[in-house]
Amino acid sequence: DVVMTQTPVSLSVSLGGQVSISCRSSQSLVHNNGNTYLSWYLQKPGQSPQLLIYKVSNRFSGISDRFSGSGSGTDFTLKISRVEPDDLGVYYCGQGTQYPNTFGAGTKLELK
């Protein structure tokens, strides 16, 4: 299975600040069709996960441009700028390139 390693495990941020979360995969996430199926999700307290970013850098419908994804191959990053209270929760990366699909262990974003 592809192992997804997220760092850091937790992150403290001030409102209005900027943070980056790293996700590394144990194998390249480039699919045979040329696409890279790396996604980012946010799980807010008491809610189900919600999709933020798909195929590395594409924002899902309704997602603020304060969220941006980048990377290639095995190294990926989620950046959140101008952090707002509604951004707090646990962020997960996930890969859909290889079966079984796998997820990172999560990064908890908290207020400083």
* Other Cβ atoms closer than 10 A to 79: 13
Q: Please state the closest distance from residue 86 (CB atom) to another protein, in A.
A: 18
* CA distance between the termini of the chain: 35
Site for another protein in 22-61 (CB under 8 A): 31, 35, 37, 39, 41, 47-51, 54-55, 58, 60
CB 21 within 8 A of CB 78: yes
Q: How many whole angstroms separate alpha carbon 63 and alpha carbon 112? A: 24
Tell me which of 69, 71, 89, 106 binds another protein, using CB under 8 A. Answer: 106
Question: What's the sign of the alpha-carbon dihedral 41, 79, 21, 112?
Answer: negative
Closest distance between another protein and the C-beta of residue 109, in Å? 13
Please list every residue from 72 through 91 that binds another protein, using CB under 8 A: 90
Residue ranges in contact with another protein by CB under 8 A: 31, 35, 37, 39, 41, 47-51, 54-55, 58, 60, 90, 92, 94, 96, 99-103, 105-106
